[in-house]
Structure 1
Amino acid sequence: MATNIRDVAKAAGVSVATVSKVLNGYTTVNQKTKEKVLRFVKEMQFQPNSAARSLVGRRSMTIGIFLTTGLSHPFFTEILSGMEEALKENGYDLIYLAQFSWDNKEYSFVRHCQSRNVEGVVVFGFQHEDMSFEELIESNIPTLFIDLDVKEGRAGYISSDNEEAVERAIGYLIGLNHRKIGFLSGDKASYVTRHRFDGYRKGLAEAGITYREDYVAPGDFSREMGYQGMQKLLALSDRPTSVVCCSDMSAIGAMEAIRDAGLSVPEDISVIGFDDIEMASFVRPALTTVRQNMKHIGRKSIELLDRLIVDKELAPPEAIVPTELVVRDSCGPAKA
């Protein structure tokens, strides 16, 4: 077991300064050396003193996370898992600055950041309408937004390729001869809903299918709203033969509504979800869905934020992560 940084430096065959740079998240150390140092840190069970690192490098090595919706949804837990891996590898400590919903319009992100002495923050679970981010953006605190298209000053963002994902899902249904394709929306104000809806419209247009407003049901990504939205589509005299949902939870709710109406998935109506949460493969029929690489999004958000923290001249980053259509059992050919 290592008792100080010199023990690690000697074992790794590098200088004390190099170990210090690795522990403080500097990007000037090449990847091979960084991996070697971190390996010895782990093997020797070295616990660097965060207060000492802060004094030496004038850095707190602390990142904050603003999360408004809590940690229960599988989407958020997967992202957090990826973030925590990257935080550990880069020597950062983590502070949850918010894990709840609130409507306090006077709340100050900046004051909260300053009171906790964080070097940067990740923001996710919010929409533009929830609160004003202008103060945070103008503060020059390095900030990385997830699923919120902010690219200004010292703030950037990361998101899945939502539009292309739904466009591809529509193409898959068209390949199964579906022409009556419904859409179960997420939160109407959200960045991801807007882009997924754009993908829906684009997919229909490319196939020469006329857009029908009555085939779009409102929602909020939840199982309950998925159920209610599907009920509205089922009540139509000329109901859809398939539906694309903005989340797996709403898709699961939609399948429940279809069954409760005495119909079958996919024999009567095909269903596609979005996210590929663990439950998607266990429901029956197993859910065809768009897989987001949620753990990668979490890891990448920390990597991008680290670059913003270290390089004061770095332009605001923008990262769009590819998705994958996972074909299971909830889709079938349209009835003639």
Structure 2
Amino acid sequence: MTRVSLSRRPRQTDIARFAGVSVSTVSRVLANEPGISTNVRDQVIRIASELGYSIRPVPAVQPQNQRSVALIPVDHATGGLGVFYEGILSGLRGAAARSGATLLPRLVRSSSLKVSELEQTLSETDATGIFLVGIDPPEDLCDWLLGSRLPAVWVNGNDPNLQFDCVSPANFYGARLATQHLIDAGHRRILHFTMSHRHTIRERVRGFEAAAAKNGVTARIVQLPSASRTSTEACEAMEAVLLEDQGFTAVFCMNDMMAVGVMEALTNHHLSIPQDFAVMGFDDLPCAAMTMPRLTTMHVDREAIGQEAYYLMQRRIADPSAEPRKVELAVRLVEGATLQSRGKKPEGREISA
């Protein structure tokens, strides 16, 4: 067996390098978190021991006694984003089942969620933890959760005050990559369709703006009503933009449903996709594979978000005093046919006088 050594005090980055794993994996192994294979766990522990890294014992969690509630907005679960949240819930359920724990989903009206309603839900379910799925809780609810010390994880959420554990896709970086992909294809006048009603979605707006500013392109944000739940509003908004005829040649949509509406408007105006107009989506929902041509989009691993959220809950229950952890999962480009090949510049449409 080859032994490893250092001339200084070892760090988790050293363990990760010698073990051939990520620093995140090392951190989770040393914290005794679930979800790590036996071989990887043994390898990390062995390397840490050989390097002389001090491993602090973490009390084991008794998952069979755990009952967690997952609060899911009813408008999201029953609307076009239902499949998105179904994937997250599947990840949560799978992780809970593997740990022998119980997960109880509950549909709520997130816009009117009250402390009294949450207290009643917890009383009825005897839950020891709560997942806020796609919910940005109001300030009074955050204060109550902090005061109660109830383990809580924001799922597909981003706590701007860094007081809660949260997990989400890499919204800023994903949006920046999506916009850069359009720019690399030669587009210099780009639209962004959004509804900036949540912290996570505003991160996508920031990613779009960052890529546009870095490359000096003309960017315009088209804000849809926060109550929009179908592609209809996106279609109507896109038709209004086309009537203005400002010479835009590409659009990045905050999700695939908006992209479907944008594509409908382009077809109604007899514009060819992607020759006249390029379209980029986000989330890689099933509808992205149903468009003609196939939508270019950014894939979000929804089940992985649910799984990671459950691991955060396990960590929080095992060590209630641990510092809050924010986890962002990478997204990846899904090549479709609504964007011309990289490097091939579009001709663009002339701007009316």
Q: What TM-score, normalized to structure 1?
A: 0.77
Q: When the two structures are aligned, how many residues end up with a matched partner? A: 286
Equivalent residue, structure 2, for 1:335:
347
Instruction: Please tell me the residue identity of whatever aligns with 1:163.
Output: F
The Cα of 1:235 is off from its aligned counterpart by 2.3
One of 58, 62, 65 as aligned partner of 2:67? 62
Change (3 A) 1:256 1:60: same
Choose which of 127, 131, 135 in structure 2 pairs with 1:118. 127
User: Secondary structure of 2:84's match?
Assistant: helix
1:86 to 95, 99, 121: 95
Structure 1 CA distance for aligned equivalents of residues 284 and 63 of structure 2: 42
Is 1:199 matched with 2:204? no
Question: Please, which runs of 5 or more residues in structure 1 have no aligned partner?
Answer: 1-25, 36-56
Tell me the equivalent position of 2:51.
Answer: none
Partner of 1:71: 77
DSSP 3-state at the match of 1:275: coil
> Which of 174, 181, 191 in structure 1 is aligned with 2:183?
174
Counterpart Cα distance in 2 of 1:221 and 1:274: 15
Partner of 2:14: none
Q: Is the 8 A contact 1:145 1:155 kept in 2?
A: yes
Residues 1:281 and 2:289 aligned together: yes
Shift of 1:107: 4.0
Q: After the TM superposition, which of the residue ranges 133-142 and 291-300 deviates more from structure 2?
A: 133-142
Q: Which residue of 1 aligns with 2:224?
A: 218
Q: Deviations over 1:236-260 (max 9, x none)?
A: 2314100000001111111111111
Q: CA RMSD in A?
A: 2.8
Do the aligned partners of 2:158 and 2:199 also contact (CA within 8 Å) in 1?
Answer: yes
- Give the CA deviation at 1:110: 3.4
Cα deviations by residue, 1:81-131 (Å, 9 ceiling, x for unpaired): 111110100111121233455635564423422332111111112235698
Q: Deviations over 1:130-185 (max 9, x none)?
A: 98432123211101102322277973101111111111111111111100100000
Question: 1:275 is matched by which residue type in structure 2?
Answer: D
Distance 1:158 1:221, change over 3 A: farther
Quote the offset at 1:65 in angstroms.
0.5
Paired position in structure 1 for 2:150: 141
Distance 2:230 2:247 in 1: 22
In 2, Cα distance between the equivalents of 1:30 and 1:241?
Answer: 46
- Kept after mapping to 2: 8 A contact 1:78/1:294: yes
Distance 1:30 1:234, change over 3 A: closer
Matched ranges for 1:4-153 at <5 A: 32=38, 60-68=65-73, 69-72=75-78, 73-100=82-109, 103=112, 105=114, 107-128=116-137, 132-150=141-159
Structure 1 327/126 Cα, relative in aligned 2: closer, same or farther at 3 Å?
Answer: same
Structure 2: stretches of 5+ with no match in the other structure: 1-31, 42-61, 349-353
